[in-house]
Every structure is written in C-alpha cells, then in structure tokens.
Structure 1
C-alpha cells in the first residue's frame, strides 16, 4: 500500500490544480470552499486517478468533499444508473453528507436518496423508485431495503464509501457491511475514511479495498490551536448551578452542552428553558423528525443551546458553534476530542469548558494526559455561583414534574391502547361464542 503522509505543502494549491472539473469548481466556490483542505489536496488527485483510498483524518477536516468530488466527476464523465453508496454511522451525518453531495452536484443535477432509521420505509422506497444517482445511509436501513424493496439492488454501483469507518465498526455494523460487500460489484472504487486505524478498520480495508493508497493527515488525536480549553472543578451537588453560571457569564454564544445520557439531555434542556435560555435537546431516544428539527433550529440560530448526547459529537458540521460544555466528562480522550471538535472549526476560534466533579478526577486526568497539556481553570467564585441556587432548584423541580407528567401521559396512552385491544379481543370472543352456539344449537 502506498502511503502519503507529509508531502511538501503547496500554499497556492487550488481545486483547478487538483484536476477538478470547472463545473464542480464553481459549485465549490458557491459553497465557500476557497482552497482544498489537507485531506482534499492529498486524496482528490489519487481518487481521480482511479485509486482506492484509505483516508485517516479527524472529523471536520473536509472528508466529505474529499470523497464526493471524485465520485461526482466520474458520474459527470459517465452517468449510469445507481452510481455511488455512502455509509455513515448516524442518521444526522447521513443527511448532512447527502445535503453536501447534492450541493456540490447541483450544477450537474445529482439526485441523492437518504436511507436511515426513524423514517418511513415506504417514502424511502418511493425515493429509490425515482432512480437516484447516489444513496447515503446507515448500514442497517440499506440492508433492509436490499431485502425488502422490490427492484432495488446495487449491481451498477461504481463507488462505495465508508465514512467514519472506525465508528461504523465500533457500533457493530460489521455484519450489515459484510452483507453489502457481498452484493456490490467487485469492479468498483472504494473509499474508506476513518479517524483512527483500529484493528477492525484494518481488517475491513484488507477485505474490501484493492491496493489502496493510504492518506494520513493526522498521526494522532489533537485539538486545534484556535481552541481555548478549560476545566472547572465543582461539587457534584451544585453541578446545574455551575452550568447556569457559565451560560450566564458567556451569554450570547452558540453552545453545545454534552451529557452522557438521553435522560440528562432532555431534563437539562427543559431546566434551561425554565431559566429563560433558548435550549433544545437532541438524543438517540427522540424520533428522527424531532432530532432533525432540533438540529435545524440550532443551525438556524432560533435556538442557541443544543443539549446533546454523543449522537452529535461526530461528523456534524455546524460552523457557528462558539462554545462546547462537557456537562458530563466523556469516558475517553477520543470522545473528548470529537466533542470539542464541534467548535473552532475551519480556522475559527472556539472555547471548551469541562465540568469536573469529585467523581470524575481519574477520567479527566487521563484526558489531560492524552492532550499532553494541563488545561486552564475557568474562573469562578462559589458565592457568585450559588446566587443561582434557588432559581435553579425550582427549574429542576419543574423539569422533573414535566418529564414525569409526559411519561405518565405516554403510559396512560399505552394503557388505553392495551385496554382497547383487550376490549376488542373480548368483543371478538363474544361474537365467536355466539356463532359457535348458533352452529351447535341449544344444549
């Protein structure tokens, strides 16, 4: 395997110099892509030359354009049926990739179909019937349509892309990926992009790529220089108070708050709204339409605080994020990097603050060790923080009650449904008994 790691940089490299078609260059300009990023400079010429690619690069490095541009250029040269399949680990990332491919391919009329969970399968089947050029999806839903949607197959596929491959395999999609690999043509181009080269990714690369070029733009996880990173050591019982204090001190910023559970994401968002902050949750327990609605409201800046689980930690490109708060310390340094990577993107400045309680010290020290630096302490005075105590406690009480009531109403609804089904079943049994009685006659 050829390895491209640190070739001499050319500060005046343009998309034209990489051999990109003028129509696609024009689309890049409209999207604000002035010059290619490092992964794009190294990957696009190799991909245009027909090579398979293993790209190791961090999230936010411009990987989507790195694999989309060569695929679109090949489609422009020789359009034929279903042309490309892109697999992504999360629904939101799949939608984002599809949007960018359609924007880059708008000048040549590219049509994408998104196949992800949480969306009605019938509408997806109808989208497939319209003969899209490129499908972007999660592995499970793609396999579902291969098995259940009449007329859908991948026999004409020319490009197969796996984005965030380390996470795809970490989320146990290996079986679905193997199913897809068995039904796609062997004569194809394959691009595998990953943040790290895990043993599973290496195994997948050996099984599915043909003499690939390995392109590595980052040898290890690191944070950008434009990111200001801080921590704050706090007592666990005052955690919500400190969060409120930070948001009050840094008011006017666009913020993502990361929690470790779906329940915490929902509860904090309600609590913050009760304190007059414009907060909205996003987590894996919400249905897909609500998740996309939350994301779109945050992107459109109608809501300036997104309270998220790690479903929003990877791949999502939201340029306007000023501040990331780790309400719960992430379990690994890798997840820390992904979370704080939501801010300070594309050369912008950003800030990240991590709340560290007495229970988080060991995990936090491991993160500092991985960063190879001691973080600055966020300046606070406990007296100023506890001023919020009464209002915060009341907001927590209201949020808890709201969640309880919502849970009860759901339970009541389910109970009513069960009751209706039970009543219906009893009525049916009574009718059946009458029929049997008539048939048999009186005893």
Structure 2
C-alpha cells in the first residue's frame, strides 16, 4: 500500500476525532505495577534478632487500628499470634494449613472486632472477604515482588487512606530493592528510636519463649492422640 495514502488516512482520522469529540480524554494502559495514592508506604531496616520488638512497637504505636501482619510461613502466623496475645494484643492467625472451619472462624472474629490483628500468610492477600484495614505490616518481605502489591492492597481501599510498613532485615534487603523497582519509587523510613523499641525486648523474649513452649505442647498432644487412635478432627488451637 502506498505510504502517502496511509499518512493521508491517519491525518483524516485525526481530523475526524477532533471534529466529533468534545473534551476527549486519552487513556493509556500501563504494564507497570503501582499502588494507590492514598496508601502511605514506609520501611524500617531492622536486625533480624529485633524484628519481633519492632513489630510489637509499631502495633502498640498504632493501638486500636485494624491490622494485617504478613509472614512467610504458616508456623510464623501461629507463633506471632501467640506472642502478641501473651503481650495483651488481640491477634489471631490465618494460613493455608487451617481448615475451612478454622479460617471462617478467624475471619469472623476479625470482622466482628474481637481480634483487631490478623497474622497471615499470602493466602489472605487476595480472594478473601477482608473488612476495612488501617495498617499492613510486612513482617517478612516477600521474595516475589508482586506479592507485595497484593499485600498492601488490603489497605487504602475505596478511596480510604492506609499505612503499609515493611520490616526489612539484613537478609531481605535485595528483595526490598526489587519491590521499590517494581513500584517505581523509593520509600521513606518509618520513624522509630531503637532505644525505645528495645524497651520491649525482655517482655517480647519472655512472651516468645512461652509461645514456643505452648506450640510444642500442642504438637505433643496431637501426636499422642494419633498414636492412641483418638479422634483428631478437633485440633488443639494455640490461640
């Protein structure tokens, strides 16, 4: 086809658009992942050994907020929920290892406000009916950057504001850099004085030790039931 004819057609289409459209809006699709403007995103570089302290500090600072804390493993959801409850915080776990009945029960408690902190894996980042969330904490940084988008998308929905804080230890820096590259922005640091954070250290350490003992006790009870051919349908809950 003649090149001059093609150019002529393009020019004529452009004239037709200008003649027929009033205040046209040009919409372009973007392949870049992004987050909403009402979402405030921050990070905090923390030593791995103090991550629990920073988690408790932030949740205490945001007391009364509806929060979701994302971890990497199912075991972490149970341990952190127990730890927080031993410190007087209303937390409940949810993970892919829980039955449908247990998952529904946890969500119902969260929705009813009986527990305002949901400790979860990425199973809760999409596909579940989660109520309004004020705060999302990435206790573990996801190795897949796109999972970050789904996690923080649980807050700042329907025009509301929200806060997402990522706790980045020395082993997760590379993953966090990839997240910043994906969303196309450098995130500011969450303000905290480490000396104030470490005031929680002794209490957090004690609560973690008690939680680990409780989890071990539940596992032993479950093992004894199985060895005794008992009914294991009713699983002991650690929280």
TM-score, normalised to structure 2, is 0.83
Q: Which has the larger radius of gyration?
A: 1
Q: Of 88, 91, 98, which aligns to 1:286?
A: 98
CA distance in 1: counterparts of 2:175 and 2:136, whole angstroms: 18
1:406 to 218, 222, 234: 218
Shift of 1:355: 0.3
d(CA) in 2 for partners of 1:274, 1:218: 46
Distance 1:239 1:320, change over 3 A: same
Q: CA deviation at 1:218?
A: 5.8
Aligned partners of 2:29, 2:84: CA distance in 1, in Å? 39
**2:72/2:121 contact within 8 Å kept:** yes
2:6 aligned residue: none
1:199-214 aligned at under 5 Å gives the runs none
In 2, distance between residues paired with 1:303 and 1:217? 40
Q: Which residue of 2 aligns with 1:271?
A: 83
Q: Distance in 1 between matches of 2:31 and 2:167?
A: 28
State the distance in 2 between where 1:316 and 1:404 align. Answer: 30
Deviation at 1:286, TM superposition (A): 1.1
**Alignment size in residue pairs:** 205
Separation in structure 2 between the aligned mates of residue 384 and residue 255 of structure 1, nearest angstrom? 22
Q: Is the 8 A contact 2:107 2:130 kept in 1?
A: no
CA deviation map 1:208-258 (0-9, x unaligned):
xxxxxxxx9764321000000000000001110110011111111000000
- Structure 2 stretches of 5 or more lacking a match? 1-23, 231-239
Alignment pair present for 1:365 and 2:177:
yes
1:380 matched to 2:203: no
Kindly provide the CA deviation profile for residues 257-292 of structure 1, in whole angstroms up to 9, marking residues without a partner as x. 000000000000000000000000000111110111
Deviations 1:141-199 (A, max 9, x none): xxxxxxxxxxxxxxxxxxxxxxxxxxxxxxxxxxxxxxxxxxxxxxxxxxxxxxxxxxx
* Preserved contact between residue 180 and residue 186 of structure 2 (Cα < 8 Å): yes
Q: Tell me the SS of whatever aligns to 1:405.
A: helix
Matches of 1:414 and 1:302, distance apart in 2: 32
Q: Does 1:308 align with 2:136?
A: no
Preserved CA contact (<8 Å) 2:32 2:182? no
Q: Which residue of 2 aligns with 1:190?
A: none
Say whether residues 1:321 and 2:133 are aligned partners: yes
Q: Counterpart of 2:63 in 1: which secondary structure?
A: coil
**Distance in 2 of aligned mates of 1:360 and 1:337:** 17
Q: Distance in 2 between matches of 1:306 and 1:218?
A: 33
For the Cα contact (< 8 Å) 2:80–2:119, is it kept in 1? yes
Question: Are the aligned partners of 2:87 and 2:207 in contact in 1 as well (CA < 8 Å)?
Answer: yes
Q: Is 1:396 aligned to residue 208 of structure 2?
A: yes
Q: CA RMSD in A?
A: 1.5
TM superposition shift of 1:316: 2.8
